[in-house]
Chains A and B, each alone.
Chain A
Amino acid sequence: MQVYLPIAEISVNAFLLLGIGGIVGILSGMFGVGGGFLITPLLFFIGIPPAVAVATSTNQVVASSFSALLAHLKRKTVDMKMGTVLLVGGLAGSALGVLLFNFLRSLGQVDLLVQLCYVLFLGVIGALMFVESLNAIRRANRPGARVVRRKHNWVHNLPFKMKFRVSGLYISVVPPLLVGVLVGVLAAIMGVGGGFIMVPAMIYLLGMPTKVVIGTSLFQIIFVAGFTTVLHATTNHTVDVVLALLLLIGGVVGAQFGTRWGVRMKAEQLRILLATLVLGVCIKLAIDLLIQPTELYSLTAGAL
């Protein structure tokens, strides 16, 4: 069944979009990621204009994150205070990111920026996660191995300290604000929630306990992605609600199945799978940049 997308102005197969949404939903349910980093490249691949793909993905991220957040709220694993600090940084970063996005769109380099961001961040995060989970599996196979205690580092010597009760932390607000800004910029440019950046940053940089990390990250992502959606919709008119609807119907259903399959697997195995997936997407995008394209020319809508 073909559906004509009113904003993207192309006709695509509805079941294809439901399928993409479903697969990404399964993954996001299993791994606790928003799935934006997979949806955006997949939308490029089926011919959705990059600007529409990025803006619409942020809307889809809101839906899948909200669905997951409800589960975390029930388990009381959300640090609202930390989430709010991250959010303040996130909103500033998001506005910055949309400005940067529009500027580069006028220069014709937006595709390059998006691709470079993907290659860089997916590469670094994927590699770190892969190594870390391999080590975790090795440790688990060697019983009696020492668990390394979290140490105080430079992060704990900054001013403006604040108490975060749920996370059991007493740290400066500067690092969470900066993490928030970075994630906001990425959300705007890459059409992602930024969970795959924020989760490691919260664990390794801020030293938050793992059990509150995902819920808090989801809490912050919903608002940043929502704000980014509004900015893209009002400045670029590139949010396609029909496209978003089809993706998120597939996505929310997939997420529920993914969550169930996820609990049956070991955490280290899950992380290794996710790392492999992230590295796979990264390598595919890197190859596209490095190998001579078959069509050297491309078209963008000109200014009137």
Chain B
Amino acid sequence: MIRLVMFMIFLALPASAEEEIVLGLSHDQVAITATFEGSNILVFGAVRRETPIPDKSELGVIVTIAGPDMPVDIWRKDRRAGIWINTDEVEVDAAPSFYAVATSAPMRDVLHHVEDLQYRITAPRKIRAIGGQVSDSVAFMNALIRIRTDEGLYQRLEGAVDLEQDTLFRTAITLPANLTEGIYEARIFLTRNGRVIDEYITEIPVQKVGLERWLYNLAHNQSLIYALMSLAIAVGAGWGASAVFGMIRR
């Protein structure tokens, strides 16, 4: 019996011993400064193997970068009394604030849908499901992905990973300027015939720094002081402008 279990475990740990990911990142963290315009993260690496390259199956590489999970409410407008107002709502427990998936070939060639369910790789799988009252929650999911894709927050980059001689791979993922801060998770999957044979996970902290950090903390931790400071700036600017222009006029 124990031997049988051992055998099953051996089967369940597929080729992980044969082909492994070795990874490098151009940034190990992203700093959001006052002049942050987005960032480009270069993910590169190699496939380490002890044995010759298997030639019967296709090697695929999938790179994902996910921002911190946040709850989000999706609203749908409907016409009531002649005007368009939000009527139906679906609450999503956790959707990544940013999600990019880059692959070395079309998705259906590098990833089997069973593996997608298990590892939650494509955006619809990554978004954690919901307790909704509406019947067509799929339409809401699609809307979430569509809106975030339009904002550059969700990216599906099929064929964007360069894979050379089944060994070296690289891809560049653009982080847009409207980033939420938090710990970003980069995952790299190695697949053969759509089956995941190795997985590599690393973290990329994205944080506001300097003035941005200070203002954000002040606004959330000492909001009264922050409010008074905002007012002081407003009053000071109003007074300053009238004083300066008063001098010019004289």
| Contacts from A to B (Cβ < 8 Å) | 1-4, 6-7, 9-11, 59-60, 62-71, 108-109, 111-112, 226, 229-230, 233-234, 237, 239, 241-242, 244-245, 248-249, 252-253, 255-256, 289-293, 295-304
Contact = CB atoms under 8 A, between A and B. Distances in A.
A234 B227 contact: yes
Contact of B86 (A11, A68, A298): A298
A299 B147 contact: yes
B149 interface: no
B91 A302 contact: yes
Given A229-B234, A230-B227, A248-B234, 10 more contacts: A2-B35, A7-B216, A11-B37, A11-B38, A62-B235, A63-B237, A248-B237, A289-B83, A297-B140, A302-B92
B231 to A, nearest CB: 5
Given A66-B234, A70-B242, A239-B226, A301 B73 contact: yes
Interface of B: 32-38, 70-79, 82-86, 89, 91-92, 140, 143-144, 146-148, 177-180, 208, 211-213, 215-216, 219-220, 223-224, 226-231, 233-235, 237-242, 245
B84 A289 contact: yes
Contacts of A108: 73, 75, 86, 89
Contacts of A1: 35
A230 B33 CA distance: 26
Contacts of A241: 215, 219, 226, 229-230, 233
A6 B224 contact: no
Contacts of A111: 86
A111 B75 CA distance: 12
Contact of A112 (B35, B85, B215): B85
SS class, residues of chain A in contact with chain B: helix
A226 B231 contact: yes
Contacts of B220: 237
Contacts of A234: 223-224, 227
Contacts of A70: 238-239, 242
Contacts of A256: 241-242, 245
Given A297-B140, A299-B144, A303-B71, A244 B233 contact: yes
Contacts of B240: 252
Contacts of A62: 231, 234-235, 238
Given A297-B140, A302-B73, A67 B242 contact: yes
